[in-house]
Amino acid sequence: MAKKWYDSKVIKITDESPTTKRFWVKVESDKIVDFKAGQFVTMDLPISEKRTQRWRSYSIANAPDQSNILEFCIVLLEGGAATTYFFNEVEIGTEIKFKKPAGGFYLPEKIETDLVLICTGTGVAPFRSMLWDIYNNKIPHKNIHLIFGTRYANGVLYENEMEELMEKMPELKYSVALSREEHLPEKKYEVVKGYVHPIYQKHFETVRADVNFWICGWSNMIDEAVAKLMLEMGYDKGQIHYELYG
Ligand SMILES: Cc1cc2nc3c(=O)[nH]c(=O)nc-3n(C[C@H](O)[C@H](O)[C@H](O)COP(=O)(O)OP(=O)(O)OC[C@H]3O[C@@H](n4cnc5c(N)ncnc54)[C@H](O)[C@@H]3O)c2cc1C
């Protein structure tokens, strides 16, 4: 039976943007930490006396590989208890306790439709896991369109990897929406000024049954995307899947 809680140690930390860091943790155990690309873990962090106030969830950003190393991509929230802890106190060797991976935000075993993956900021984490999983395991799939939104060009996460994946997977399209950037950079992928919504509204304007939308991020973006897809564009509820960060 899989363990309920795992003990891990931080083995690597890097900056991914001015406000986002990547953290790698390793679980020293013969038991494999099993997870599906897209799932998250809930950590018990030393940020409160009360047990339930210490718990925060983070998507696993790497693809399953049996290494017992998990990667997390975490954005600093000013005044946020957990993220202040991660950014100010966590260092190589810090122990992190987390519950076994959970959540239903993972792709079906058989991918039979086109996929539109919509995210803002660290909401890209589960999609990075899914894309590498599809590529590494040669999982049959159709067209995939990753739509990523952030404020400025220096906030684009995993940019090099997405460019690499575009080369490895010609059926992958990548679009970036920059809401506050004055000068849009010239890129190999589509870059637009504004939010993520006009991108899928343009590319998927004609309603099709053979497409599924996967959305990840905070409630303001998800609420707007679900409302636009269903009420304005006419997509069916069953074609829309989301992971709400808060
Ligand atoms: C399933 C799941 C997966 C998650 N995965 C990730 C992940 O991979 N990376 C990641 O950075 N975060 C992720 N989160 C969010 C994370 O759990 C915390 O909520 C976040 O790190 C803030 O924690 P905090 O203690 O610093 O802030 P708190 O003090 O708990 O936050 C205060 C309030 O701000 C809200 N909030 C937090 N961050 C933002 C934001 N950026 N924009 C708007 N409102 C916000 C919270 O919902 C809360 O109501 C995930 C959440 C869930 C439920």
pLDDT band at 1 (very low <50, low <70, confident <90, very high): low
Q: What pLDDT does 12 receive?
A: 98
**Domains, the chain, ranges and CATH?**
5-99 (2.40.30.10), 114-244 (3.40.50.80)
How far apart are the C-alpha atoms of 229 and 204, rounded to whole Å?
A: 9
In the chain, % of residues over pLDDT 70: 99
In the chain, % of residues over pLDDT 90: 97
What is the tens place of the pLDDT at every residue in 170-225?
Answer: 999 999 999 999 999 999 999 999 999 999 999 999 999 999 999 999 999 999 99
Probe target for ligand 1 pocket from 20, 77, 119, with the most ligand atoms within 8 Å of CB: 77
Instruction: Tell me if 104 CB under 6 Å of ligand 1.
Output: no
Q: Contact at 8 Å (CB) between 75 and 121? A: yes
Instruction: Tell me if 22 CB under 6 Å of ligand 1.
Output: no
SS3 per residue for 107-144 = CCCCCCCEEEEEEEHHHHHHHHHHHHHHHHCCCCCCCE
How far apart are the C-alpha atoms of 19 and 155, rounded to whole Å?
A: 8
Supply the residue whose CA is at minimum distance from atom 36 of ligand 1. Answer: 246
pTM: 0.96
What is the tens place of the pLDDT at every residue in 12-60?
Answer: 999 999 999 999 999 999 899 999 999 999 999 999 999 989 999 999 9
How far apart are the C-alpha atoms of 121 and 216, rounded to whole Å?
A: 9
The alpha carbon of 210 and the centre of ligand 1 are apart by a number of angstroms equal to: 32
